[in-house]
Every structure is written in structure tokens, then in C-alpha cells.
Amino acid sequence: MSRQRYDFDTVAIGAGPSNLSLAALYEGACGRPLPVFERSPGPTWHEGLMLPGARLQTSWIKDLVSLVDPRHELSFLNYIVSTGRVYAFLNAQFDAIPRLEYARYLAWAAGHLDIRYGTAVDRVAYDDGFELYGGGRLLGRARHVVFGLGTRPHVPSCFTGRTLPGVILAEHLMGRLPDLTDRDAPAVVVGGGQTGAECVLALLRAGFHDVQWMGRRHWFAPLDDSPPANDFYRPSYLGFFTGLPEATRRRLLSEQVATSDGVSMSSLQEIYRAEYEERLENGGRPLTLLPGRDVVAVSGRGGVVTMRCRLTTGGHEFREARHVVLATGREPAPLPFDAEMAEMVELDATGEPVVEQHYSLLWKHADQHRVFVQNRARFTHGINDPNLSLLSVRAAYIVNALFEREAYRIRDEHTFTVWPDSHPR
């Protein structure tokens, strides 16, 4: 069957930042475009979560290419100069740039790449190469494939599989806001991360008078963006982390969570200031913080949602709301392997595919046909993996592995942290 020609040497699926970075570096390395199949009809980046004033949590220098190839034409600097906005951008002195600007940058970069919009890949089969299907149609055959499917909202099990009027996913909030007329009634945001914070701000700005913010941790933890925290987001740490035993990796990840899943200090300040000013002007209790609560059961009756919450201090309590916004995190989108292909992929103890050093999956025909995955290697490659920080570094490792040469050199030599040896002599 090898006798069939491949339509593509390598194909990428999903045109989020991960595969845009890959496509940019791939073309930079070989001069040929990398075809990227994307299900949405045009460029988009977490559009439903583009809440007003949202800021990127990552430096714009960590764009699609610059950390490994600062001379690449798809750098953020080239983008901002070529839009004619560079002086205004510099004068605005952003500590963190608007997420909208980053989304525009991604769309600009995508315009220079081979993105095939409106093409969802819903099944990948193996027949001496990968067969990619969408809508029951064969889209093409490829020798290697790179998945960059991103994430989908994680919904706590007590909310799944039922219709509860008043319960809204965070990414639908902006679209639904104009219909939510009952602004004196309690509106609860569930989820103590950045998206939860942005939903709280959106509700306060929209004139809700009784917003309640609920989170599982004992406080609404700020994002740790300190220099030592950022040491986890360096290629040198990546090399150290991947060499650790699995149990150690999992323990360290849970210790490092505030460097990735915390709330930006600016968002926390905005929330506290909005509460202060609203109460100063109009009295009442515009915002209540409810940390240390985990929703474990939910019911709805007569337009009221009742939630039973487990408390970090032990015991339970009930909370009622007219509107409930779920900002309860995200989980990797499933890989669309057909049953036969899925059988050939090695899984770890948790049932997840085993990701090897250069982001390829361990599977039966890996010696000839590589499957790479982006943004689903947190447990093997560290806390940086779901973030934008080392996007171009990960893409460079994949390009180097695909071409079996050092197309991009990854340099991180000025280090002065000596991480503890996991195999002391």
C-alpha cells in the first residue's frame, strides 16, 4: 500500500498559535509551505473569550518565531511596524498587550501561511501513511501529521448532560450578555482563574449588582510572574524536567500551578477597584468573593440555580443564583484517531498517549510515520506546555525532528539555577 503517493509530506491540524508557529518555522527551514487544516471558516483565537480589556499574560517577544529565529518575517515586531502602529504601540507603554492585538497578529501571520480554513479533520486513519477525513470525505494522505487541536471547556460533571437554564459557558457570556436583563439578581461565576476574573469584570461593567465569584482554592491566587517562576519557562528547564521520574514531575507541576493558572495582578486590581468604586457610588454589595468552594451538585427550579458546594474547611453549603457562568478550566481536545489507529498508540497509566522527547507520540509505526502533538504534554514536558511562552521552541524541536537536522538552534546558556539532580551519586 505504500505504493500510494502522499498528497503531503507533513500536514498540521488546527491553526492556533501552536501550529502557526510550526508552519512559520517549517517554511523558514525548507522554503515550502506547511498545509494546515483548520475547522473555523477564518482566522480566530478564543473569540468568545475576547472580553473587553483582556490582556495577554505573555510578553510579545515570545511571539510565533522570535525566540528561535528573530529574523523571521512573521515576528510580532515586523507585524506591528507593518501596520503603522509601532510608535503608538510603544507610547502606550503596555505592561501586557491587549489580547485583541495578539489575535490580530495571529491573523496577519496566518495570512502569510498555507491555512486551509473550513476544513475540520474528524477522522485520522492509518494505511501506510495517514488518511485524513473531514465530513466523510478524504482530505488527503500524509506521511507525518502534527496535531495542534488546542483545548475545549472543561465542565464539572454535576453540570454535564443536563439543561439548566441560567447556566452559561464563559465563552458564550459576551454573546448572551444583552439578553440577561435581570441585573439585580445574583450572578455567580464559577472558576477562580483568569477567565473567571474576566467574566466577573464583564458582569460588573455590564451593571450586575450582585456578582459572586466562586473558586476552589482558598484564595484567588495571583499569577506568579516573578523571575524564579519564569525559570520554569526556559528551554534549560524543559531539558531538566523531561528527565525526571513521572511521580516527581507530577508533584512539581502541582507546586508550579500559580505560574500558569493564576489571575493577572492587573485583573485582580481592576476587580477590587471596581468593587470599591461601585460601592462608593451606589452602595449595596456589588461583588462577593467566595473562595474555597467546589460545586459538587446542582439543580434548577423556577429560574433559580441551586448549587451545593464542598468547602475547603470541611462541610457543605448551598448557593443560589439566577445566572451561573462556568469558567471551570479547559482540557485537551480529543485526538480524532479511528479505532484501529487508536489501538496502535501507546498510553500512559492515566490513559493519555505517551509523548516522547520531541513531542512525537509513541506508536506502532513511529519509525516511519511520525505523529506530533502540541499543547498536550504538560505531564512530560512541564508547566510551559499549555502556554504561549515556549511556543516557538516547541515548534523548532518538531521541525528539527521532522527534518532530522538542527534547522533551528535552541540556545539558553546564561543560567545560574542548579536544579537538584534526580539521580544523586
**210 and 180 in contact (C-beta within 8 Å)?**
no
- For residue 352 the three cell numbers come to 493519555
Contact code string over 129-168 relative to ligand FAD, x by CB under 6 A? -------------------xxxx-----------------
User: Could you tell me the smallest distance in angstroms from the CB atom of residue 15 to ligand FAD?
Assistant: 5
- For residue 425 the three cell numbers come to 551519586
Residues 274-333 that bind ligand FAD (CB under 6 A): 330, 333
Backbone angles phi, psi at 11, to 5 degrees: -130, 140
Q: Using the rule CB under 6 A, is 191 a contact of ligand FAD?
A: no
SS3 4: coil
User: Could you tell me the smallest distance in angstroms from the CB atom of residue 425 to ligand FAD?
Assistant: 37
Region from 49-57, 184-192, 320-328, 406-414 binding ligand FAD, contact rule CB under 6 A:
49-57
Size of the site for ligand FAD (CB under 6 A): 34
Region from 34-42, 181-189, 365-373, 392-400 binding ligand FAD, contact rule CB under 6 A:
34-42
Q: How many CB atoms lie within 10 A of CB 10?
A: 24
User: Could you tell me the smallest distance in angstroms from the CB atom of residue 345 to ligand FAD?
Assistant: 17
- For residue 239 the three cell numbers come to 531539558
User: Could you tell me the smallest distance in angstroms from the CB atom of residue 366 to ligand FAD?
Assistant: 21
Cα–Cα distances (Å) from 28 to 7, 69, 74, 408, in that order, read 21, 9, 10, 10
Residues 51-110 that bind ligand FAD (CB under 6 A): 56-58
By beta-carbon proximity to ligand FAD, the closer residue of 244 and 335 is 335
Q: Using the rule CB under 6 A, is 360 a contact of ligand FAD?
A: no
- For residue 160 the three cell numbers come to 454535564
User: Could you tell me the smallest distance in angstroms from the CB atom of residue 231 to ligand FAD?
Assistant: 16
Q: Using the rule CB under 6 A, is 262 a contact of ligand FAD?
A: no
Written as one string, the DSSP assignment of 102-134 is: HHHHHHHHHTTS-EETT----EEEESSSEEEEE
Q: 219: exposed, middle or buried (C-beta count within 10 Å: 0-12, 13-18, 19+)? A: exposed
Q: What is the C-alpha separation between 52 and 90, in angstroms, rounded?
A: 21
By beta-carbon proximity to ligand FAD, the closer residue of 195 and 319 is 195
**Type of residue numbered 240:** F
Region from 35-43, 218-226, 265-273, 347-355 binding ligand FAD, contact rule CB under 6 A:
35-43
Tell me which residue of 28, 34, 31, 44 sits closest to 10, measured CA to CA: 34
Residue 161 gets the label, from left (phi > 0), alpha (psi -120 to 50) or beta, of left
Region from 15-23, 212-220, 270-278, 415-423 binding ligand FAD, contact rule CB under 6 A:
15-23
Q: If you ran DSSP here, which 8-state letter would residue 158 be given?
A: G
Contact code string over 336-355 relative to ligand FAD, x by CB under 6 A? x-------------------
User: Could you tell me the smallest distance in angstroms from the CB atom of residue 281 to ligand FAD?
Assistant: 30
Q: Binding ligand FAD by CB under 6 A: which of 8, 12, 14, 186?
A: 14
User: Could you tell me the smallest distance in angstroms from the CB atom of residue 398 to ligand FAD?
Assistant: 13
By beta-carbon proximity to ligand FAD, the closer residue of 8 and 45 is 45
Q: Using the rule CB under 6 A, is 120 a contact of ligand FAD?
A: yes
Q: Using the rule CB under 6 A, is 15 a contact of ligand FAD?
A: yes
Region from 17-25, 208-216, 270-278, 287-295 binding ligand FAD, contact rule CB under 6 A:
17-25
Q: Binding ligand FAD by CB under 6 A: which of 11, 12, 18, 74?
A: 18
Cα–Cα distances (Å) from 75 to 54, 64, 84, 109, 412, in that order, read 22, 7, 15, 8, 20
Q: What is the C-alpha separation between 198 and 407, in angstroms, rounded?
A: 40
By beta-carbon proximity to ligand FAD, the closer residue of 174 and 324 is 174
Q: Using the rule CB under 6 A, is 389 a contact of ligand FAD?
A: yes
The residue written with cell numbers 476552589 in the block is: 216
Secondary structure of the chain: what % helix, strand, coil (to 5)? 30, 20, 45
Residue 163 gets the label, from left (phi > 0), alpha (psi -120 to 50) or beta, of beta
User: Could you tell me the smallest distance in angstroms from the CB atom of residue 89 to ligand FAD?
Assistant: 17
Residues that bind ligand FAD (CB under 6 A): 13-19, 37-40, 45-46, 49, 56-58, 120-122, 148-151, 195, 330, 333, 336, 374-375, 386-389
